[in-house]
Amino acid sequence: MNILVIGSGGREHAIIKSISKSKKCSKIYALPGNGGTELLADNIEGDVNDFELIKKITLKHKVSLVFVGPEDPIVNGIYDFFKSNIELKDVNIIAPSKQAGLLEGSKDFAKDFMEKYNIPTAKHKTFSVENINQADSFLESMNPPYVLKADGLAAGKGVLILKDIDEAKLELRNMIIDKKFGDSSTKVVIEEFLDGIELSCFILTDGENYKVLPFAKDYKKIGEGDTGLNTGGMGAISPVPFLDDDFLSKIQNKIIKPTISGIIKENMKYNGFVFIGLIKVDDEPYVIEYNVRMGDPETEVVLPRLKNDLVELFYSMGTPKFSDIKLNISDNHAATVILVSGGYPESYEKGKTINGLNNLSQVSVFHAGTKKKNDSFVTSGGRVLAITSMGKNFELALENSYDQIKNIKFDGMNYRKDIGFDLL
Ligand code: AMP
Ligand code: GLY
């Protein structure tokens, strides 16, 4: 069968690597893909939100499975676009509906959902122009630091954590009135700060049954010791060492089960991943956020541990076979280190030649911001490559990634040398 993968990151390269191993896979197309995906798929230029283009590609290339990587097309309703179109409705699309997309596309919606289904999360209140005058007293009733979240999508930049109450009051107005994050911040969720350690939980569901994939931990900050600006993610490990049976069963009972039953009760059409950003506070799990897709760079450590045929798994969704399939997860640990362009997550240059990719051993290289240029690759984004290794424990996996990274060079290359530092 022919498969279309939408997106251009390390996550999409990892998905393409996995599906290319399936006996069921004939040809892969990537929209727009990257330098790495070009080795396994036909890259097609275009915008991930151009649904008419996606329709054309799907019909022209007789695509029967579409994997949607990033949140934007999901939140914009790509699932509903397919299901309401006579020519596309039978195509298997791995994405939830627009309604379910609100779990990521609106923090306020997600908070209401958690409240309704009794899912532990930080206490909160939502503000907009209508009730902005009550925000000051709400802030005054809370302890610092203050967490302000733009309601809508903001490319991972919409969360501010502020120590000073006057700054929080000012930023709230910047967000709501001066539209600091455009329309995404016409509503702002203010919530209690939770002090703990974060982990990422991934569920694959067809809106009825579900499978829990390996957990992972990612490192979002640019600087060592988790300092500096937030990025898309600078590294990840899987499994998560502090996830013991007791904590896992709390997550299952207090978070995963009520989330899935909420999705069912709300009648949300779901055929994809639920990514639950969790935080462990005093041995209890809380939801920090929902995403309606896989994580990046978490996918680059989750998929290398999953031994099932991914295409078969996707195809079983919505059929009784889905509950029969057992996930076959490697006991090995996976670790990935992200190589980024100098200056990222602020401005950076592109077009730098990447050297040394042919001299690597025992690693999986997932391309993110790369382009093929003649016989080599050049940088084309902030996050450039994910270097994943496997090992008996995450320290050994990381040791290998760091060792191999010494062979890779491009102008301005930067990476964190302390992935996993907080777990030793
Ligand atoms: P979000 O986009 O909601 O995942 O928030 C981005 C990041 O901000 C999270 O990964 C956390 O590190 C941090 N964060 C968000 N909400 C809270 C909270 N209530 N308490 C502490 N940290 C938070
Ligand atoms: N690594 C976090 C994310 O994909 O949102």
The first and second tokens of residue 191, run together, are 């919530």
- Strand pairing report for 383-391 and 333-340: antiparallel
The first and second tokens of residue 370, run together, are 């790369």
In angstroms, how far is the first alpha carbon of the chain from the final one? 44
- Per residue of the chain (424 residues), what is the pLDDT tens digit? 999 999 999 999 999 999 999 999 999 999 999 999 999 999 999 999 999 999 999 999 999 999 999 999 999 999 999 999 999 999 999 999 999 999 999 999 999 999 999 999 999 999 988 888 899 889 999 999 999 999 999 887 889 999 999 999 998 888 888 888 888 989 999 999 999 999 999 999 999 999 999 999 999 999 999 999 989 999 999 999 999 999 999 999 999 999 999 999 999 999 999 999 999 999 999 999 999 999 999 999 999 999 999 999 999 999 999 999 999 999 999 999 999 999 999 999 999 999 999 989 999 999 999 999 999 999 999 999 999 999 999 999 999 999 999 999 999 999 999 999 999 8
From ligand 2's centre to the CA of 277, what distance in Å? 9
Burial group, residue 261, by CB count within 10 angstroms (0-12, 13-18, 19+): exposed
Contact indicator for 342, 406 with CB cutoff of 8 Å: no
Domain ranges (residues) in the chain: 2-95, 123-192, 197-423
Query: Please, how many CA atoms are within 13 Å of residue 256, restricted to the half-sphere of its CB?
Result: 22
Contact indicator for 278, 200 with CB cutoff of 8 Å: yes
Instruction: Assign 405 to helix, strand or coil.
Output: helix
Contact indicator for 224, 421 with CB cutoff of 8 Å: yes
- What's the pTM? 0.96
159 Cβ closer than 6 Å to some ligand 1 atom: yes
pLDDT score at 91: 97
222 Cβ closer than 6 Å to some ligand 1 atom: no
Give the closest ligand to the alpha carbon of residue 148: 1
233 Cβ closer than 6 Å to some ligand 2 atom: yes
The first and second tokens of residue 290, run together, are 């929902």
295 Cβ closer than 6 Å to some ligand 2 atom: yes
Burial group, residue 273, by CB count within 10 angstroms (0-12, 13-18, 19+): buried
DSSP code per residue over 207-226: SS-EEEPPPBEE--EEETTT
From ligand 2's centre to the CA of 16, what distance in Å? 18
Ligand 1 atom closest to the Cα of residue 192 is 19
69 Cβ closer than 6 Å to some ligand 2 atom: no
Mutate to test the pocket of ligand 2, among 107, 221, 238, 291 (most ligand atoms within 8 A of CB): 291
Q: Given CATH 3.20.20.70, say whether it is the number of domain 2-95.
A: no
Burial group, residue 71, by CB count within 10 angstroms (0-12, 13-18, 19+): buried
Q: Given CATH 3.30.470.20, say whether it is the number of domain 197-423.
A: yes
Crossing angle between the packed helical segments 107-116 and 98-105, to the nearest 10 degrees: 100
Contact indicator for 201, 217 with CB cutoff of 8 Å: no
Q: Which helix (H) or strand (E) holds 336?
A: strand 333-340
Angle at 285 between CA 280 and CA 286, to 5 degrees: 100
If one looks up domain 123-192 in CATH, what number appears?
Answer: 3.30.1490.20
291 Cβ closer than 6 Å to some ligand 2 atom: yes
Per-residue burial over 172-193, b = 16 or more CB atoms within 10 Å of its CB, e = otherwise: bebbbeeebbeebbbbbbbbbe
Strand order in the sheet with 188-191: 124-127, 188-191, 146-150, 159-162
The first and second tokens of residue 21, run together, are 């191993």
The first and second tokens of residue 12, run together, are 């999409």
